[in-house]
Structure 1
Amino acid sequence: MASMNSASVSAIQVSCKQTRFHIESPNYRELDIEGLNIVVTASPPSGTTKTKGKAASRSTGLEILSDATLRLKAGQRYALIGQNGTGKSTILRSIAEKLIPGIPEEARISVLQQTNANNDGADATSNRRTVLEEVLERATAKDELEQEIQTLTQGIDATAADDDGSDAYAALRALRKVRHDRLQKRLFVLDKNARLRSGARGMQARKALTALEKTVAEATVSWQEEDTDIAAEVLQAETQEAADMLAELQIQAEPARLAHIESRAKSILGGLGFSETMVATKPVGDLSGGWRMRTALAAALLSDADILLLDEPTNFLDMLGIVWLQKFLLANSEGAAGDDTTSGGEPARPPPTLILVSHDRDFVSAATDHLILLQDKALTYYTGDLPSYEAAQAESRHHLHKLKDAQDRQRAHLQETIARNMREGKKNNDDTRIRQAKMRQKKLDDRWGLETNANGHRFKLNRDMPGFHHTRRAEIEIAPEARAMNIVLPNPPDLRFPGALISLEGVCFRYGTAKKTPSPPPPWTLDTIDLNVHMGDRIGIVGLNGAGKSTLIRLLVGDDATTASGQTQSSPRPTKGTVTMHPRLRLAYYAQDAVDTIRALDNGSTTNEDGTPLTALSLLTRDVEGKLSEGDLRALLGELGLPGRLASDTPLRRLSGGQLVRCALARLLWQRPQCLVLDEVTTHLDYETSTALRRALRSWPGAVVLVSHDRWFMRGAIEGNIDDEIGSGLDDDGNESDLDDGAGGNGGGPSGRKLVYRLRAGKLTLLEGGVQQFEDQLEKRVKKLLAL
């Protein structure tokens, strides 16, 4: 059993099956762990009585996995798929921190976590490093290597000095200091092993820890030994050993090898959107959270890892960065991203085993070739991408529905025959008919079920269900379809008179012109923007980070829009041009930082009147101020995937990112807006919720203005595509059906315009080819970046 405390006062408890004959695989890129159990528990508040025992910890904790199997093959690319709140990030964290017994400590695991942007750069040293220095340090531990070289160099130089200030013992003390520091790091590893393992392996780990503790104590005494107590032969031997160790370290830090790594680091940072100036001179402490996340991603990609874990790597990337990362992972896996040999002429290491968590469907489908499905506290595996898995599941369900329907008709006919034979047999005293009816009834009771086995052949009881105790065949069971939830957007009220909801005419905007205009003036952030939004329109805006999309959105919504934080916000004014709105317009705006805003509302000090932490229901109750009943609020939250106790009892800080997005949407939708302006709404949403929201936006009669880097979501919500949607074309009974209420077009919906614009260099350009045209343009740029 393993436990690890986090800053959120929670613990991850891990256990799995182990035997005393367990032999760790020499291939650190593979994992094969059975009987895996992961439980996340929260430490009780101070002053409360702690319940002892495993049962108590399980009853108060959230069970993520139960008797699951974690199996990874070397060099494969896996996508970990599961709904929000099921524990995907917890599983990655358990692997990264080697909390799972059976993961060798020697395995090199590199991880990008969702919380990296908030935790990185906490120390002053890291804040002072440039972006390039930070990436190199994280990926190669360059500072640690250089520190050891510096310590040994200073000691050897002091020993070899010709002047009177020479110190014959300086090299020896430097060597012993380096040894002592290395032993301390090894002690930390063995201490964790001893806490993680139990039984025979646990006893062996504790013996190794005890032995190393004695070695560390001896090394401490040796390091602090007086010079007069050191024998001459020991001095000579350890001085030579210090020189040998320094030579080995200098080989590792040879300029050619470091130059090769630095070149790769610059290439990766360039692909992720960093300019040359940012790479060379920008201190990490001056970066925003999004750029820090990119720095952490670059370090993870650069590291020489056996297993690479990426948790939502696309959250802070624009579409160019997403397409580049997608191509980089494929090229790296196929051996095309690097050379066949290292700079020293040695064979290059094979590609790492990849586990990817992302809610960008197009990215996951292109970057991975295996699925790990997290459902019902178990892990199931599928070879192929997400669309092929969904197609196979839909085909299997359709086939089982046909089998069940045919069997139900056959059963009804047989029951009718049995009833008729019994009735006529008793009437005519025909024992043959009665006996025949009883035999058929016995078949229904004891031998009715599947007519074919898993391979499609005729079912045989003695072959497919061996054992004298089996008398019934397996019934045809159709598992509930993993469909998207059904989000129902409230119908907007009538406007009473027609007209454009929002109109931008000749809008220009630049920053830094409030008081004085510098000479020359800065370039236009937005240059002569003309845009009209009418009822039923679907307007998509794409562009790279920094193009001004969020600025355009804030000009579009003005000061009267209600945001997901529940408050109105101050928006910039256009430098030139006009922005007009329909006088009866209700406009709701989902900002990029909506999740962070809600998290800030419950930072541990904000509570309800009774002192309990804020929940989704209590937060929404404060927003509506009595305008909706509790039943209406619960219905709204339930439709968005926050039902029952999850909405009323779970503190906001315990909700996942995707659940907080749903809470933010509820704060917008209860007001029944006529226009929804959504800026990166899918950042934390799982596939099911994204599909439901995509479908709801497609058929909603109001207007939608969407900014998103999610190509799949944009194609469905704006362009009306449904061909790549979960369960498209089949209803619950496996029959053909339409997913949308509207008719006509590719997926129906309101009769408004469907337009995709690209914002670049301040200009808003209509893309006739839609999202695909923008993606094709980015593909050309990515090819050039990867060729550098």
Structure 2
Amino acid sequence: MENIKPLLRSKFPRIDGDLLEYIEGILETSFEDFFTSDDVYDAIGPFVHEAVDGATDGDVKDLCNQILSIIGPEFENAQNGKITRILDAPIHIGSMRIEGDLLKASENSMWKLQRESVDSKKLERANARIQKKEERKSDMDKPKPTAPVSNGIGMATASQVLSKKDNKAEQRGTNNSKDIRVENFDIAFGDKVLLTGAELTLAYGRRYGFVGRNGLGKTTLLRLLSSKQLQIPSHITVLHVEQEVVGDETPAIQSVLECDTVREGLIAEEKKITQEINNGNTDASLNARLASVYQEMQAIESDKAPARASVILAGLGFPAPAQLKPTREFSGGWRMRLALARALFARPDLLLLDEPTNMLDMKAIIWLEDYLQTWPSTILVVSHDRQFLETVATDIIYLHSQRLDSYRGNYSHFIKAKTEKAKNQHREWEAQQQLREHVQEFIDKFRYNAKRASLVQSKIKFLEKLPVLQPVEKETEVVLRFQDAEPLNPPAVQLDEMSFGYTKDKILLKNVNLTASNESRICIVGENGAGKTTLLKILVGDLEATSGFRHLNRSIRLGYFSQHFVDNLDLNSTPVDAMKMKVPGKTVEEYRRLLGSFGISGDKALQKVVSLSGGQKCRVALAVMAATRPNFLMLDEPTNHLDIETIEALGKAIDKFSGGLILVSHDERLIRMVCKELWLCADGVVRSIEGGFDEYRKLVEDELKAQ
């Protein structure tokens, strides 16, 4: 076996050290199961493909043939009984009785031992403990009787342990606390366990940022909370901003006001009573009830509601004329803004937000950050926007390893605390491992010494009682890679006196002059509706300019990622199928390698797209785009649905990309990482901002203050 590691190193010099040890461990523990090179390939082939860039199927199979030639003779020796077996425990030969213990040597072992009789009671107790552990593990793996929740693409199930005290308080109606505590609950999505034995505590008035890798179950948990399949006190109102407002003839501001059902009910009752009185009804009770209705409306400040709704809508980008438009006239993105406005107006006890900044421009994001800092009740928000979490969150809930960890402070405090916690856990684990080894050495040394039998037994009991610490699980770093790009002579892209309008009467962009080279790192910013996406479509060629000229370098290969790229994926196909459609003629292994460079590895590459999370779908779309080997990238809001770690990885991948870039984004972290130029699209004009992102943010903040 000692020849295998050098072989792997010589074949693939850049292979990761940890993965090398893992592969070597597989070969050492399973070599007796390998009869052909295909058996070896099935065992280690996927790991080698994932770890080594450019490893072809032929290379890996050739490696497997060489490995089989090394371990084959060892396997034959094992079958013929020629391998010397190591004894299970150290033997003190001087204390052994020659007549009873030291027997005739044989071909297969140095000594054959007549073992001492085993304490049957101890053996029974040990077996019982092992059986209980296996039963507990088996119970955890079994699907639990839970309530299914439809989430549009499948079924999520949840179960929880309810305390008798909480149940009694709920039944009696004596629980008036608005704090939320969900204890010992499990969540599964189909056969995949998302959370097990988890605990969620939300203190009233705190703002919780909910973070974790894509696909771990953040959105599923929010849906289970909003549907109350995870039981929380019935008196707590919950609102989950997930679906866009239905388009009809209702004006936008009225759609927001209708969220306050109490106010709407009082207004309807006031109209009904007033009409009856005007029709001649002289019942004295009507006047009394009308006076009571007026008092209740005054108590809830009903007269101030329209102004409050208007302020919220204006902050989210709806000017006064737009607030009176029917909801059917708004696009899906603007209807999602309406849904957010309704939630902010309703002020539930628990507000659940899932990526609220996806639909917002920088101006609306800054307004929302300021607005939520004075939010009176509890917020649980899933967000990939690091700056948003820095500003809004008072606590961070971290989903990983099928559990939830809570941290005080914003995202920066969370990163520091998580890092320090991992270091402390690792130190504790190392210290315990050293202690265990030291105690075990003593036990092994004096196991057969009758004078120290009692001391050995006490050491054994000490080890049994010692809590089992697990080594710190290191999250695999997200790495995204664009392939090397062919160089371009400048200019790569150019617009001369370009104007565009969807109608002749309404010009959206006018007299735009822009130039981008192979080394450009440009970000286009501006309010929603200002024409950023339209400008990108003109550059790509999806739209034709009304006037002016567009020039592209003849050698340019554009990589265009649109906001709706993810929506255009066939949900019933696999990521490999999506690759085949875009870049035909390659092998499955090549497609999987390309997907693996964007984090879609292993079984995920063969799952249906419908079963992937929003962030994983986005990675598939980026991988499909990158497979065309572009030398100039045009990315329109690529961070939507990506987790923070993947956004960081995307920024690093763009930095290493040797071609040009034009980016439309509102993610401050990504813009600061990759962009050297900032173009502001506003009032039909596109101009460069000399001060970069800091200058742009200051302009937006000054504009908000002036409102």
TM-score under structure 2 length normalisation: 0.71
Question: Hey, what does 2:114 align to over in structure 1?
Answer: none
Q: Distance in 1 between matches of 2:460 and 2:161?
A: 28
CA distance in 2, matches of 1:283, 1:255: 30
CA distance in 2, matches of 1:290, 1:391: 35
Residue correspondence of structure 1 range 311-330 to structure 2 within 5 A:
311-330=354-373
1:622-652 deviations in Å (ceiling 9; x for gaps): 22222x21111111212222222222133x2
Q: CA deviation at 1:594?
A: 1.5
**Aligned pair in 2 of structure 1 residues 768, 480: CA closer, same or farther (>3 Å)?**
farther
Change in 2 beyond 3 A, CA 1:293/1:678: same
Cα distance in 2, alignment partners of residues 37 and 404 from structure 1: 27
Structure 2 residue 93 is matched with structure 1 residue 136: no
Say if 2:415 is the partner of 1:390. Answer: yes
- Separation (CA, whole Å) in 2 of partners of 1:644 and 1:770: 41
Structure 2 unaligned spans of 5+: 1-144, 447-458
Residues 6-59 of structure 1, C-alpha deviations (whole Å, 9 max, x = no match) = 37374443321123332347445311121112233xxxxxxxxxxxxxxxxxxx
Q: 1:326-725 maps to which residues of 2 (within 5 A)?
A: 326-330=369-373, 332-333=374-375, 351-395=376-420, 441-442=441-442, 469-470=462-463, 479-482=472-475, 484-495=477-488, 498-513=489-504, 522=506, 524-558=507-541, 570-576=542-548, 578-598=549-569, 601-602=570-571, 613-626=572-585, 628-650=586-608, 652-718=609-675
Q: Distance in 2 between matches of 1:470 and 1:507?
A: 77
Matched residue type, 2:253: L
Cα distance change on mapping 1:760 and 1:156 into 2, 3 Å: closer
Provide closer, same or farther for how the CA distance between residues 111 and 554 of structure 1 changes in structure 2, counting only shifts above 3 A: same
Using the TM superposition, give the Cα deviation of residue 714 of structure 1 relative to its aligned residue in structure 2, in angstroms: 0.7
Indicate if the aligned counterparts of 1:397 and 1:478 stay in contact, CA closer than 8 A. no
Q: Spell out, residue by residue over 1:703-756, the C-alpha distance to the aligned partner (whole angstroms, 9 max, x if none).
A: 1111101111111122xxxxxxxxxxxxxxxxxxxxxxxxxxxxxxxxxxx212
The question of whether the paired residues in 2 share the 8 Å contact of 1:404 and 1:476 is answered with yes
Aligned to 1:314, what secondary structure does the other structure show? helix
Alignment of 1:164-179 (within 5 A): none
Paired letter, 1:19: S
Where in structure 2 are the equivalents of 1:235-384 lying within 5 Å? 247-254=291-298, 257-279=301-323, 281-330=324-373, 332-333=374-375, 351-384=376-409
| CA separation of 1:399 and 1:66: change in aligned 2, threshold 3 A | closer
- Helix, strand or coil at the partner of 1:595: coil
* Residue equivalent to 1:65: 195
Q: CA deviation at 1:760?
A: 2.1
Deviations 1:115-142 (A, max 9, x none): x12xx316xxxx1210010000023454
How far 1:256 sits from its partner (Å)? 8.5
SS in structure 1 at match of 2:463? coil
Q: How far apart are 1:318 and its partner, in Å?
A: 0.3
Which SS does the other structure have where 1:697 is aligned? helix
Instruction: Select between 81-90 and 142-151 the one with higher mean Cα deviation.
Output: 142-151
C-alpha contact 2:426 2:472 (8 A) present in aligned 1: no
Instruction: Tell me by how many angstroms 1:572 deviates.
Output: 2.1
Residues in 2 aligned to 1:33 and 1:404: alpha-carbon distance in whole angstroms:
30
User: In 1, Cα distance between the equivalents of 2:475 and 2:358?
Assistant: 24
2:155 equivalent to 1:8: no
Separation in structure 2 between the aligned mates of residue 406 and residue 654 of structure 1, nearest angstrom: 42
- Quote how far apart the aligned CAs of 1:660 are: 1.5
Distance 1:483 1:386, change over 3 A: farther
From the superposition, tell whether residues 443 and 360 of structure 1 become closer, same or farther in structure 2 (CA, over 3 Å).
Answer: farther
Q: Is the 8 A contact 1:84 1:685 kept in 2?
A: yes
In structure 1, what is the Cα distance between the partners aligned to 2:148 and 2:260? 24
Q: How does 1:34-49 map to 2 (within 5 A)?
A: 34-40=183-189
Secondary structure of 1:315's counterpart equals helix
Q: 1:314 to 1:13 in 2, by over 3 A?
A: same
Shift of 1:540: 1.3
8 A contact 2:149–2:224 mirrored in 1: no
- Identical pairs, percent: 31
- Contact persistence 1:28–1:306 (CA under 8 A): no
Deviation string, structure 1 residues 430-453 (Cα, Å, up to 9, x no partner): xxxxxxxx999539999xxxxxxx
Q: Which residue of 2 aligns with 1:121?
A: 246
Q: Give the Cα separation in 1 of the matches to 2:216 and 2:426.
A: 29
Match status 1:766 vs 2:682: no
Task: State the partner residue of 2:224.
Answer: 94
> 1:374 Cα deviation (Å)?
1.1
Aligned partners of 2:563, 2:510: CA distance in 1, in Å?
A: 23
Deviation at 1:690, TM superposition (A): 1.0
Deviation at 1:392, TM superposition (A): 3.2
The alpha carbon displacement at 1:658 in A equals: 1.2
Q: 1:81 aligns with which of 208, 211, 231?
A: 211
TM-fit CA distance, 1:596:
2.1
Letter in 2 for 1:73: A
Contact 1:2/1:100 (8 A) holds in 2: no
- Tell me, what secondary structure is at the counterpart of 1:596? coil
Inter-CA distance 575–29: structure 2 relative to 1 (3 Å threshold): farther
AA at the equivalent of 1:302: F
- How far did 1:543 drift? 1.2
Distance 2:284 2:406 in 1: 55
- Secondary structure of the structure 1 residue equivalent to 2:358: coil
- Report the number of matched residues: 546
Deviation at 1:110, TM superposition (A): 2.3
Query: How big is each residue's C-alpha offset from its partner over 1:247-289, in whole Å with a ceiling of 9 and x where there is no partner?
Result: 544433359822211111111111111010011x200111111
The 3 A distance-change label for structure 1 pair 310 and 5 is closer
Query: Does structure 1 residue 779 correspond to structure 2 residue 701?
Result: yes
Shift of 1:317: 0.5
Distance 1:352 1:665, change over 3 A: same
Distance 1:445 1:353 in 2: 59
Q: d(CA) in 1 for partners of 2:153 and 2:370?
A: 39
Contact 2:197/2:403, CA 8 A, preserved across alignment = yes
Separation of aligned partners in 2, 1:404 and 1:84 = 29
Q: Does structure 2 conserve the Cα–Cα contact (< 8 Å) formed by 1:272 and 1:324?
A: yes
Name the SS of the counterpart of 2:462 in structure 1.
Answer: coil
